[in-house]
Amino acid sequence: MGVRRFDLEAGGDTFEFAAETEDKISFWLGKYPEDRKRSAVIPLLWLAQKDNAGWLSEPAMREVAERLEMPYIRVYEVATFYTMFRLQPVGRHHIQLCGTTPCMLRGANDLKEVCRSKIGKPHQVSDSGRLSWEEVECLGACVNAPMVQINDYYYEDLSVETLEEIIDKLDNGVDVEPGNFVDRLNSAPEGEAKTLIDPALDDGSVPKGISSLPNQPEELPETQLKPLGKMTTKAKKADTVKDEKQAAEEASEAEPETKAEPKPKASKATEKTSPAAKAEELPVETGEQARPEAMPEPDSNGADNLKVISGIGPVLEKKLNDLGIFHYHQIASWGEKEMAWIDAYLSFKGRVAREGWIPQAKELAEKKS
């Protein structure tokens, strides 16, 4: 991890909280008695950092100290102790890269090299002023390693390629949606669900009461209950012989059970969803929505990189390719009906229009031509 150094010169001579921050300051001060208001030092430092382009200058710390009637050195001690407070200017998009064991085992060291090559040294702002980065301790998303935090949001399950793509987009002023960058939901397995997939397990009904706890021992009739107390060795042997003899007789009288024939295993070919089954899952074409025109394969120049379009990541690109959509000009040709069909298929609820896929695709198609 890089060394944290306090920049005394970059912060200027003055600092003021934003007008809209004053209500938040009052909220935090209201949580403590007047003679204990210095307890709000951490939230006020956090608000000061937010209002100071993502870092704490000396004037910002002095303002917090005056608000809380604290010695300046006490505020400085808190700010320098917690690594969430940054002591140097940062880029518009500050990347915190987790380098602890789970992320390291999953490729965090390779992601560090990406940051060094694309941005520069840790704690330094890029030439464009848009980016900076640092290595941090565990961010608590080990199941989605390797990952980074950019400003306030997590970008998880990264690879060298996806982090390079994220950095390039941010450096060119294109926002990138946070979340997973593989085909999974939160910490679920990649691809489709593997467990708890029976619809009957979640039918929307409220839990029903139970009359008894499961896996409890059966109650024996009173005639079978043996009296408590010491038994002689001879009595114990007699009971054992009697029990074994009785068990043998019951076993000989019982009819042999008919074993159920094992069900034949489904072949791998039948396990996979057939094209016909997939077609049944597609939205129905109506007067208000129509499936976009598909291509059987990309043209001779190869498929376009649809991930350049803001809002489309590796997972969505694969889903679009599966639908026969490989090129910018295909998305650029969509109308209202095609957008409605895609929204229904991907459960987007207007995301295509909201994120401006079609205008972006038109611009990219024009540049390509």
- Predicted pLDDT of residue 342: 87
Supply the pLDDT for residue 360: 92
Three-state SS at 29? helix
The per-residue pLDDT for 278 is: 46
How many angstroms separate the CA atoms of 133 and 244, rounded? 75
Report the predicted TM-score, pTM, of the whole model to 2 decimal places: 0.50
Burial class (CB in 10 A: 0-12, 13-18, 19+), 312: buried
Phi, psi dihedrals of residue 6, rounded to the nearest 5°: -85, 120
Q: Where are the domains of the chain?
A: 19-81, 93-180, 276-368
Q: Are 113 and 90 in contact (CB under 8 A)?
A: no
**Residue 348 confidence (pLDDT):** 75
Predicted local distance difference test score (pLDDT) of residue 195:
77
Whether the upstream peptide bond of residue 146 has omega within 30° of 0, thus cis, is: yes
Q: d(Cα 233, Cα 236) in Å, to the nearest integer?
A: 5
State which CATH number among 3.30.1490, 1.10.10, 2.60.40, 3.40.50 fits the domain covering 19-81. Answer: 1.10.10
Q: Which CATH number fits domain 93-180: 3.40.1160.10, 3.40.50.720, 1.10.3720.10, 3.40.30.10?
A: 3.40.30.10
Residue for token pair 């970059």: 10
What pLDDT does residue 91 have?
93
Taking the C-alpha atoms of residue 114 and residue 146, their distance in angstroms, rounded to an integer, is 13
| Burial class for 170, CB neighbours closer than 10 Å (0-12, 13-18, 19+) | buried
pLDDT < 50: residue spans in the chain: 266-280
In terms of Cα–Cα distance, which of 243, 254, 364, 258 is closest to 305? 364
pLDDT, tens digit, 9 for 90 and up, residues 120-130: 999 889 989 99
